[in-house]
Structure 1
Amino acid sequence: MGWISSVSAEGVANLAPYSYFNAFAQAPHYVAFGSGPPKDSLRNIEATGEFAVNLVSFDLREAMNASSAHVAVDEFELAGLAKAPCRLIRPPRVAASPACLECRLHRIIPLPDDDGAAGDHMVIGRVLGIHIDDRYIADGRVDTVAMRPIARLGYSEYATVSEAWRMRRPD
């Protein structure tokens, strides 16, 4: 799950979970997430050109769910979450998140429906900075399993990463 934090042009913080997100590209890194009809996150990112992608862990699942409510309040406060400053962008990050990607907007792509109207959007951001909680670094590598990230499977079903294995590409 990607937990997108942003701020409005007036400086009001916003936090919302997004089921559909992924990181891609290597130099530089990019991240993309899908947004339905325009809501605060999309409007804030359009206005400021910045956002952060916070990783949702199993321990943060209830706060993530609380922040998904359609309300006109600071979702950080609603979910009982502490904010932490980002280094390179204005939006705050979720202090308790095991990892965060600080992003500058690259492009918003309207995604047309069957009638050609744009109801959904793909937001692509260039990663400027990365925060990883030191507790999840082992032997110079990120221990993803220890983070226990969650993924939305659909409907009201989620999964937790609890096992990792390696497979090398053939040369």
Structure 2
Amino acid sequence: MTGGGPAGGTETGALEIDVDDRDDSLYRLLSSAVVPRPIAWVSTRCEDGVDNLAPYSFFTVASVAPPVLLFAPVDGTDGLKDTPRNARDTGEFVVNLVTEDLAEAMNETSATLPAGESEFDRAGLERADSVAVDPPRVAGSKVAFECSLHDLIDVGGSTLVLGEVRHVHVDESVTTDGKIDVDEIEAVGRLAGSQYVRTDDRFSLERPP
């Protein structure tokens, strides 16, 4: 930290952070400032046939041509967590959209379970068969992207998981004239800690030419 005030603050009270002077993680700062974040609710199936389901809020679109999604799990103490390991071993996963009606179930699937126990079962979630990949999707999810593994990239203490979209399921309830209607998707976003945000308070800005 730098600055003349207490705990690195400047005379104006601003917090200045010199990352080179810190030994601890910036997770809390990053997850509090980079908000709101969409949630990738990722379903995988391990080589033993157990279905895994976990939420990840470090998530975005990486490419549109080809269509590639990216989520970035923080590694566990023993290396890869179940989801990226399953994606690596099987080459497939599904990204399910989290809407407000599924928020409680999504949170339930963030629990740490022993090997061989499925988060689908813990949260009482119905599975739906996928079309192009083996792992199931969440039956109640309004949008689901079936993906084949594009790449795994180690970045410090995280692993970027990139998946090329092979099939998309879109529930008719969130479409208008055959297209996804953002006003119909009650998506949930992640803030920090235990806080989330609804996406029902919206406004429009016209992009300048």
The TM-score with structure 1 as length reference comes to: 0.91
Structure 1 contact 83–94 (Cα < 8 Å) conserved: yes
Q: Deviation of residue 165 (structure 1)?
A: 4.1
Q: Deviation of residue 26 (structure 1)?
A: 1.9
Q: Which has the higher strand share?
A: 1
Number of residue pairs aligned between Structure 1 and Structure 2: 165
Q: Deviation of residue 145 (structure 1)?
A: 3.0
Q: Distance in 1 between matches of 2:63 and 2:88?
A: 22
The reply on whether 1:105 has 2:105 as its aligned counterpart is no
2:15 corresponds in structure 1 to: none
Shift of the 151–163 alpha-carbon distance from structure 1 to 2, 3 Å rule, reads same
SS at match of 1:62: helix
State which of 80, 85, 98 in structure 2 corresponds to 1:43. 85
Unaligned 5+ residue runs, structure 1?
113-118
2:188 corresponds in structure 1 to: 150
Structure 1 contact 145–163 (Cα < 8 Å) conserved: no
Residue 54 of structure 1 aligns with an amino acid whose one-letter code is N
SS at match of 1:135: helix
What are the Cα deviations for residues 3-38 of structure 1, in whole angstroms up to 9, with x where unaligned? 000010122110001111112322221100011111
Q: Point out the structure with max Rg over C-alpha.
A: 2
The TM-score with structure 2 as length reference comes to: 0.75
Q: Distance in 1 between matches of 2:147 and 2:160?
A: 14
The reply on whether 1:92 has 2:130 as its aligned counterpart is no
State which of 100, 121, 145 in structure 2 corresponds to 1:58. 100
Identity %: 40
The reply on whether 1:70 has 2:108 as its aligned counterpart is no
Q: Deviation of residue 152 (structure 1)?
A: 0.7
Residue 92 of structure 1 aligns with an amino acid whose one-letter code is P
SS at match of 2:64: coil
CA RMSD of aligned residues (A): 1.3
